Structure formats: C-alpha cells, structure tokens
Structure 1
C-alpha cells in the first residue's frame, strides 16, 4: 500500500503553484517563474526547497540530463482534493455544508457567485 504523500508547507505549495503550469522544469526555470511574485527570491533557496520536496516525495526528478528536471509527484487537482478532505475533517467535522458556508461568508465576487449558482443549477438538471 502506498503511504500518503506529506502535506506541502506553504512555501512548498507556492513552489508547486509555479511548477504545475510548467509540467516539469529545472530549478532555474521554476526560479524564473517565481521571480514575478517574489523578486528577492534566491535561486539557491528554490533549488534547496526542490531537493527537500524530492526527498519528501512531493516532486519526482529526472536525473538523465545535466540539469535535473523536476515534476510534481501528483496532479494539482489530486493534491487540492487531499488538502480539502483534510481541512474538511479537521476544521469542519466532516461537514461539506459548513465548509461551503464558511467560504461563502469570507466574501466572493459577484462573478464567482454567478459561476457557483450556474454549477448548482446544472447539477439539478
């Protein structure tokens, strides 16, 4: 049986957010992608974090080329589902309704509300 992957730290999740659109990338490419949001981010910090994430099983690494190429160990939607399930159990006693109501109370845009209403209407049909 596969043991579950560890939950990423906030810094690891931020790195994954930069890596998912790239699919797979070198540390240099991820660093460049992250510079837009964090202009002071050092390349060495990105490389070290990617090495740690590889050791934890959050990233897979292709070592066949001179520059190692990293990729997320699981797709974005799978990780989000796992994190959501954990949050649902820990913070909302397993109640999806309580989670959704809390999310709606935190303030969503009119566009987001319309999209949610459209999805709910399509579910009924």
Structure 2
C-alpha cells in the first residue's frame, strides 16, 4: 500500500460507513439499532467489534469523551468513493475511465439513470 494511502474498507466496513454517513456520529448502540433494519441477525457485540476494528484501521474516528464512545467516518463519503473509484479504474480498467463508463452503461444502468446521465452530459455542453 502507498504511504499515507487511505485504508480500503471491506464490504462489511463499507456498509457500516454508509450507515454512519447517513446517521452521523453515533454510539455502537445507535449504529446497531440502525443496522438491524437491514441485517436483523447482527448482534451488538458484532457491531461494536466492527467499529473497533474500523477505528484501528483509521476508517473511523472515535470520541471517547463520553461513557459511550461516539464513532464517525474518518473520511467524507464523496472522498472515499472517489478514492475507491480511482483504484477500480486503475486495477480493473487499466486506468481508462471511459472503459469503466462503457462497462457500466452496458446492462448496469436503468432507463431512468441513463436519462439522468444524458441530462448531465447535455448540461456539461452548455
């Protein structure tokens, strides 16, 4: 890994980051309650352990000033997504963003999403 490179989250970690981006800074209990909506099998111990591991990896910040620690994402959602996308373009598409977009457009985009993309491209021209 490059020096000072942001750690790459696992799928479970990315799911937790999405949750925290939506909730904002949260205790383990709050994160667990929110996670139960999509993953009813998750235990509070599993969520706490995941938060602790993510903190150790540098994916989360932890405020220890209260009895219940408060966790928040160390990186803004857009920033992490941009870094992951750059990595994907480099690894899977030999650095070609055009190839990534072409692959995404072939069967992975709904008609509504395609119309939105076209609208954005048309705005870019003006």
TM surpasses 0.5: yes
| Structure 2 spans left out of the alignment, 5+ residues | none
Q: With structure 2 as the length reference, what TM-score do the two structures score?
A: 0.95
Moved over 2 A (4+): none
Question: How far did residue 121 of structure 1 move?
Answer: 0.2
Alignment partners' CA distance in 2, 1:119 and 1:90: 27
Query: What is the count of residue pairs matched by the alignment?
Result: 124
Match of 2:30 in 1: 29
The correspondence of residues 79-118 of structure 1 with structure 2, limited to 5 A, is: 79-118=80-119
Aligned-pair Cα RMSD in Å: 0.9
Question: How far did residue 108 of structure 1 move?
Answer: 1.4
| Structure 1 spans left out of the alignment, 5+ residues | none
1:55-78 Cα distance to aligned partner (Å, 9 max, x none):
010000000000000000000000
Question: How far did residue 22 of structure 1 move?
Answer: 1.2
Question: How far did residue 106 of structure 1 move?
Answer: 3.0
Alignment partners' CA distance in 2, 1:86 and 1:5: 11
